[in-house]
Structure 1
Amino acid sequence: MNWAPRFGVQYLIDVGAWALAIVLAELLRYEFELGRVSWLPLVGLVLGVAVLQLGVGLLNYLYRGRFAFGTFDEVRGLTMTVLVVGVALLTTVLVFGDALDTPRTVGFIAVPIALITMLAVRWIKRVYVESRYRAAVDAERTLIFGAGVVGTELARRFSTEPDNLFWPVGFVDNDPAKRNLEAHRIRVRGTLDDLERIARETSATTIVVAVARADAELLGRIHAAAGPLGLHVKVLPPIDELFGQGEVRPSDLRDLQIEDLLGRPPLDTHVENVAGYLAGRRVLVTGAGGSIGSELCAQISRFHPAELIMLDRDETGLQTTAIGIDGHGLLDTPDVVLADIRDPDALKTIFRERRPEVVFHAAALKHLPMLEQYPNEGWKTNVLGTSNVLEAARSVDVDVFINISTDKAANPTSVLGHSKRLAERLTAWMGRETGKPYLSVRFGNVIGSRGSMLPLFTRLIEEGRPVTVTHPDVTRYFMTIPEACQLVLQAGGIGSTGEVLILDMGEPVRILDIAKRMIEISGKNIEIVFTGLREGEKLHEELFDVFEANDRPHHPKISHAQVEALAPTALDFDGWQARTQHERHLPKHAAQPVSQGLGQSEPAGKLVPVKAVAAP
């Protein structure tokens, strides 16, 4: 075995430690009078201990490569082994001491000497090995914020991995109890308030945030303190991901992103407790190639459905989703379905053949300014397309139907908002017709979704172009894609017929603050240009319609509201055209939902703190 030479040497060293300890124990007992020592019984004891050390050590995996050298795990395994062998030695000399002409105190003296010797040898070797580690020539001098379990493990990795690109030069920790802490020869040099002094003393160029579940407020403070000092901020993935992979690795580090600074901690909706309705069921997702649809498919697959049917008219999007789910993009399996929700006949055929039991309707047109130019397209996809999917679902008696909506459906002022509001009302009507949980889920902007604001800002900044913001005071709600999909999945477990479920989105965030932060993170000199609010666009989005109650019967962060039902036969295309054309001629700040009364916009709420100012 390839570990035999290394651990064979360790075993011989441990046997030598026992021999030294037993001989030294007897010499100490006789005050170093060599003539009183019975050497032959002593050799027998050493041989017996050597056999026991090998057997017990192998049982404890001490010589089988389980423990990294010089770690606490190895110390624990070694201590257990020595104690077991020591008990056997002590019992032997207590029972047969006279026959062996060996003092009974030998056992008591030899055990601690042997253990200390073995530990000392391992410590000396570890110190020697670690002293040979050298950083790569171009390694960044790195500070680690957080001297806890994650931080100290990261420091060990930085210090011991060959050619590592980060070399630790100190900890930064706000806990007063850790001010004198030192781990892996790296000490805590102060708190975040001392960062300027620490950076100057260590010549650090990077600071790594190694705190479990660091929130946006803490990350914002670190970024604000590190920016003026020229320190590059890096962060680790969420702690559950780190523990899932079993270790903290330098390769896990990533740059601080604007998503980390939006001021909204991730919300756990405890979806695992209510998503049992997916297990063993046939589940169909429309819009499976989109940002929300693909993440939905990924999360649904964790609950082991009998069949996951991914439907979209975008073959490239379907391929991307399939790669994430199945590990390949062959597009030759029955789980991917190419179809358009505008085609009712095709939908009914697919539903009759596949017989889905749960449907998530994510397919939609979602770009507000595009639909303002082409409102009829919004009608065809978001209104008639939703009606087509609902009719297909009713035709095969689907048990659960979840329509994915948007906050723009509350007090709608745009084509997008009105079309999604109609989709919510159609879903409510179908739910009451079938008596089954057909409901909608409403949320705000999704961070990182295809075509959303953050990827657009990122591209403009990367290309050195001006960042366009519609209005200095415009605000929006934000949530992550996984968070949005958790809400969607949970809706099927806690929602009732005809309801719309709304996630507590926290405080709305000012878009100008986000633009400034992203420019600051990039380190570039980028101009911000205000373009003015677009047709149908609100200054501040809302989550609830003026007539909707905010009830939270199941989850403190999820609201339930009733939606007025609308039969497909009551759809009025001429009225739709008249309404959208009327609102297009209203002043931009005065656009109101014609069919539902006036709605009051919510206040901007708490803003993301920003210190840097974009270039004029």
Structure 2
Amino acid sequence: MPYNKRLPLLMLLDSIIVFSAIFFGYFLLDPIMKTYTMPSLWVSSITLLISHHLFATIYRMYQNAWEYASIRELLAIVKAVTFSMLTTAIIQLIVFQHANIRVLAITWMMHVILIGGSRFSWRVYRDRFITPNPDKKRTLIVGAGSAGTMVVRQLLKNTETDLYPIAFVDDDPTKTKLQMYGVEVKGMIQDIPKLVVKLKVENIVIAIPSLTKSELNRIYEESAKTKAKTKIMPSIEDLVSGKISVNQFRDVQVEDLLGREPVELDITSISGEITGKTVLVTGAGGSIGSEICRQLCKFYPKQLLLLGHGENSIYTIDMELRKFYQDEIELIPLIADVQDQGRIFEIMGKYLPDVVYHAAAHKHVPLMEYNPIEAVKNNIFGTKNVAEAAHTFGVASFVMVSTDKAVNPPNIMGATKRFAEMIVQNLAKESTTKFVAVRFGNVLGSRGSVIPLFKKQIAAGGPVTVTHPEMTRYFMTIPEASRLVLQAGALARGGEVFVLNMGDPVKIVDLARNLITLSGYTEEEIGIEFSGIRPGEKLFEELLNDNEVQKKQVFPKIFIGKAEPIDKQKLYKVMETLLDLDSEEIKEIIIEIANTKISEKSKLSKAGA
């Protein structure tokens, strides 16, 4: 009912209750009305009526949606009734020199019962007699805490949702057999498979925002034993920010199962590096580069330079950031190729950035095996151009985004990234700029990740192709990797190779199986085929080799690797000859450098002679 129609009806109902209650109170104590005078009765009634409507307005009793009434609304009624009684008692004392306390006590009790009853009756009727749509899906709620209770409440009141809660499961034994909004806690998480069968559950909703990744995996493993579809409630951040409502569930994603617990960043140190400064990000349109830009904007730099070679990707991230930060940050999209030394020096000299995040690179391992010259031009000479420009124009900090594939690389991509690390490390020895590199493994959902490929294969009906049954990789979410890159930049003193703790490696075949299940299929429906290891691939990735002794942890999930570069003169001497060699010679020399197997008699020495 519209507010303008509901207000007069509620006020009329309250007026009838107020008048009848106080008359009943007087009558109950003195049926023949010998003790009380009519003036006292009428003054008390009118005072009570006026004060009740006043306090009812103050406590917003006429604005509440009473079909969803709870303890909070009951407390509002008690407060309004109590203060109206106190006001009436004060008026009685002033006018008649005494207060009819017993009458007011009886009236107070009747007001709470009758007004409260009138408000809660609609909720009782709604919950009791408005039956759920039989077409709604029977839903099991995992978690009977405050979040789970909120989910049930929202599902019960939302007529548009297609989910209907029929039971909870919770590992707290004290909650077993308890009911919340008429929905009973039927068992624990280990009971999910049998409850799904017994209660004919069609959907499972995970409603525990504080879940650790291991706990989420455990719940998912139990849910995966059933044919019910598993969903998860929105994150607390999305709920608080208003991006999404509590009953807008999403499917469990593989990122949920592979991600790790978030690290609290040192906001003060990062803010000191970024806030109010000019920051340049190369490769700003890429998966990592664009996320670095998003994370940087949270610290409000004065200028953010978005540099990239692809106009569409730079346009996309520029438009996205302008939507939220146009008035606070000067966003400058720059189309440039890091291989173009003149253009890079021009940009660096014009804008004089305080901090540079170098994320531009060719990262696809098999593709670079076929195009080693392009890998050298972009990953080595491109890094050299940006780093030397940063040194020339006095940039305070330079952070290069590297990869775990730079460790003992058998492939051209990893080798060129290790070569780039050594360029940065050598510059750090002679420059006032703090040059550092940050290594991490695969990121979930990036353009080069296997996950988008697997999803396309599943959508096409399969099979999902995995290179080898023992193939393993480290995984990290894009936001986590980007946040830790910013933190590593704030920790930089110059010359470090920071290594991000990637957690435990994951078998790619297990990742494929999880994706198939999450997509609602079985391995019988979507098969897995092994296609063989591709050119340049390793079965197992490493974050440090045997010679790169890991030092102490400098921040949660951030270590410093003792990765020593070869001599700068040798490094630059080889670079002078690289582009004059053929692809196979380039591969051999770059991989030899990356593995630091340097001797006077080596092919490297001959090539540089």
- Would you call these one fold, judging by a TM-score over 0.5? yes
Secondary structure at 1:274 match in 2: helix
Residue 444 of structure 2 corresponds to 447
Q: Deviations over 1:228-269 (max 9, x none)?
A: 331100012322222232874322x1111222222x423224
Q: Is 1:12 aligned with 2:12?
A: yes
How do 1:265-304 residues align onto structure 2 when only pairs under 5 Å count?
265-276=260-271, 277-304=273-300
Q: Which amino acid letter does the alignment assign opposite residue 46 of structure 2? A: L
Rounded to whole Å, the distance in 2 between the matches of 1:80 and 1:439 is 62
Q: Which amino acid letter does the alignment assign opposite residue 173 of structure 1? A: D
- Equivalent pair of 1:136/1:163 in contact (CA under 8 Å): no
Residue 226 of structure 2 corresponds to 229
How do 1:85-96 residues align onto structure 2 when only pairs under 5 Å count?
85-93=84-92
Residue 400 of structure 2 corresponds to 403
How do 1:521-540 residues align onto structure 2 when only pairs under 5 Å count?
521-522=518-519, 523-524=521-522, 525-540=525-540
- Equivalent pair of 2:394/2:433 in contact (CA under 8 Å): no
- Equivalent pair of 1:415/1:580 in contact (CA under 8 Å): no
Rounded to whole Å, the distance in 1 between the matches of 2:492 and 2:132 is 56
How do 1:68-83 residues align onto structure 2 when only pairs under 5 Å count?
69-83=68-82
- Equivalent pair of 2:391/2:432 in contact (CA under 8 Å): no
Rounded to whole Å, the distance in 2 between the matches of 1:365 and 1:5 is 65
Residue 256 of structure 2 corresponds to 260
Residue 137 of structure 2 corresponds to 140
Residue 326 of structure 1 corresponds to 322
Cα 1:254–1:103 change in 2 (3 A) is closer
Rounded to whole Å, the distance in 2 between the matches of 1:443 and 1:594 is 18
Secondary structure at 1:243 match in 2: helix
TM-score for the superposition, normalised by structure 2: 0.89
Cα 1:104–1:46 change in 2 (3 A) is same
Secondary structure at 1:147 match in 2: coil
Secondary structure at 2:502 match in 1: coil
Q: Cα offset for 1:579?
A: 12
Cα 1:582–1:178 change in 2 (3 A) is farther
Q: Cα offset for 1:271?
A: 4.5
Q: Is 1:244 aligned with 2:241?
A: yes
Q: Cα offset for 1:90?
A: 3.4
Rounded to whole Å, the distance in 1 between the matches of 2:191 and 2:553 is 47
Q: Deviations over 1:1-59 (max 9, x none)?
A: 963432333233333333333223223323x3455553442222121112112222323
Cα 1:591–1:138 change in 2 (3 A) is farther
Rounded to whole Å, the distance in 2 between the matches of 1:53 and 1:410 is 76
- Equivalent pair of 1:134/1:162 in contact (CA under 8 Å): no
Q: Cα offset for 1:348?
A: 1.1
Residue 603 of structure 2 corresponds to none
Q: Which amino acid letter does the alignment assign opposite residue 567 of structure 1? A: K
Residue 500 of structure 1 corresponds to 497
- Equivalent pair of 2:425/2:495 in contact (CA under 8 Å): yes
Secondary structure at 1:300 match in 2: helix
- Equivalent pair of 1:426/1:568 in contact (CA under 8 Å): no
* Alignment coverage as a number of residue pairs: 587
- Equivalent pair of 1:285/1:361 in contact (CA under 8 Å): yes
How do 1:125-524 residues align onto structure 2 when only pairs under 5 Å count?
125-131=122-128, 133=130, 135-136=132-133, 138-245=135-242, 248-251=245-248, 253-262=249-258, 264-276=259-271, 277-327=273-323, 335-522=332-519, 523-524=521-522
- Worse overlay, 466-475 or 447-456: 466-475
Identity of aligned residues (%): 32
Structure 2 residue ranges without an equivalent (≥5): 599-609
Rounded to whole Å, the distance in 2 between the matches of 1:577 and 1:59 is 83
- Equivalent pair of 1:3/1:65 in contact (CA under 8 Å): no
Q: Which amino acid letter does the alignment assign opposite residue 53 of structure 1? A: H
- Equivalent pair of 2:231/2:252 in contact (CA under 8 Å): yes
Q: What is the RMSD computed on CA atoms of the aligned residues?
A: 3.0
Rounded to whole Å, the distance in 1 between the matches of 2:587 and 2:418 is 18
Cα 1:492–1:197 change in 2 (3 A) is closer
Q: Which amino acid letter does the alignment assign opposite residue 125 of structure 1? A: W
- Equivalent pair of 2:176/2:186 in contact (CA under 8 Å): yes
Rounded to whole Å, the distance in 1 between the matches of 2:45 and 2:183 is 41
Rounded to whole Å, the distance in 2 between the matches of 1:484 and 1:83 is 57
Cα 1:555–1:334 change in 2 (3 A) is closer
Cα 1:490–1:160 change in 2 (3 A) is same
Q: Cα offset for 1:439?
A: 0.7
- Worse overlay, 88-97 or 404-413: 88-97
TM-score for the superposition, normalised by structure 1: 0.88
Q: Cα offset for 1:206?
A: 0.3
How do 1:13-92 residues align onto structure 2 when only pairs under 5 Å count?
13-30=13-30, 32-34=31-33, 36-64=35-63, 69-92=68-91
- Equivalent pair of 1:402/1:438 in contact (CA under 8 Å): yes
2:101 to 101, 104, 111: 104
Q: Cα offset for 1:79?
A: 2.2
Q: Cα offset for 1:345?
A: 0.5
Rounded to whole Å, the distance in 2 between the matches of 1:389 and 1:558 is 25
- Equivalent pair of 1:142/1:168 in contact (CA under 8 Å): yes
Q: Deviations over 1:353-378 (max 9, x none)?
A: 22221111100000011111211111
Rounded to whole Å, the distance in 1 between the matches of 2:177 and 2:8 is 39
Cα 1:243–1:72 change in 2 (3 A) is farther
Rounded to whole Å, the distance in 2 between the matches of 1:35 and 1:596 is 113
Q: Cα offset for 1:563?
A: 3.7
